[in-house]
Amino acid sequence: MNVQQLRYLVAISDSGSVSAAARSLGVTQPVISRSLRAFEVEHGMPVFCLSGRRLVPTAAGKAVVDSARDALAAIDVVGETARAARGKADLVIATTPTNGLLLTTALSDLGRCEPNLEITVCRASDGDDVRRKVQGGEAEIGFAELISTEGDRQLISKPIAEVEVVLVSPIGSDLPEAVSWDDVVTQPLIMPPAGSGRRLLIDGMAATAARTTPQVSIVMEDRGSWIAAAQAGMGSFLSYRCVVVDLERIEIRSFKPAHTPTVGFTHRPGSISRAATQLMDLARGSCGSPSPVPG
């Protein structure tokens, strides 16, 4: 038995299938299947059984999964204790480039409050990747647009703020005061790379709402470069109003109806570090404010 096996057991219990557990942890299905079989052989008991199309813990398996949760929480505490004992603490946050802009002020404030804290921002391709990194233990907390997690015990969600999505365009763009997706797809767009989570989201929303694909002007991965490109008249892009509100040489338009997703933190069940709690508290006061972004 090892720690990874315990993570797999908890993921299967929470997601209801081996394939869903594999997706949530970013591993292949055979890896989890082999691990589960090895655990059941080693301990001489079935941990899960089928209930309809869903895998659920057996009576004995439920006690095993609950113990696995407790053990994983205890392991996290051991790691925090060891870091504290050497006089060095660290915090790993998973977020996307776009959502990471909202944390700039909070991260800066946390660094000043905790000068001995080593902060690592783990880049994720989209919100699902953020959740996978947190579930798999690559990051203690994640920050992204929150999705409904009703009935999902894999992660705890902590909403922080509602942010307005806007269209950022060059000065003089021929667009109405408030735009729809029908308006957006007529414009040359500055887009993230094909296949990225944000690109798939934009393509999907355009196909659903306007029944067409966006007109791509230029592909750029660096979000800071999008601003300079729009200021140079190269195209429009989607952003959060609070990120771009104070920038010059651009035009900002709301959507009609307004699109205001909720952003927030996610973490695994159990206790989290003091630094993670501090960052959440600081973000509540800063996520609605503009972040310093190169203009």
**pTM strictly above 0.85:** no
Query: Where does CATH 3.40.190.10 sit in the chain?
Result: 88-161+261-286, 165-255
State pLDDT tens for residues 143-157: 999 986 444 567 899
Q: Give the CATH number of domain 165-255; options: 3.40.190.10, 3.90.180.10, 3.40.50.970, 3.30.450.40.
A: 3.40.190.10
Note the Cα 108 to chain centre separation in Å. 20
Q: Report pLDDT for 290.
A: 43
Q: Report pLDDT for 33.
A: 93
Q: Report pLDDT for 84.
A: 65
The CA angle 205-207-211, to the nearest 5 degrees, is 135
Q: Tokens in use for 224?
A: 């800071």
Give the Cα separation of 128 and 145 in Å (integer). 10
Give the Cα separation of 52 and 49 in Å (integer). 10
Q: Tokens in use for 47?
A: 């941990």
| DSSP for residue 244 | H
Q: Report pLDDT for 72.
A: 84
State the fold for domain 3-75.
Answer: Arc Repressor Mutant, subunit A (1.10.10)
Helix ranges, the chain (H): 3-15, 18-25, 29-43, 59-85, 97-100, 104-113, 127-135, 181-184, 197-209, 223-231, 241-244, 274-286
Q: Report pLDDT for 132.
A: 86
* List of the chain residues with pLDDT < 70: 80, 83-88, 148-153, 288-295
147: three-class secondary structure by DSSP: coil
Could you confirm whether domain 88-161+261-286 is CATH 3.40.190.10?
yes
Q: Report pLDDT for 83.
A: 63
Upper half-sphere CA count for residue 194 (Cβ side, 13 Å): 6
Q: Are 146 and 159 in contact (CB under 8 A)?
A: yes
Q: Tokens in use for 89?
A: 């603490």
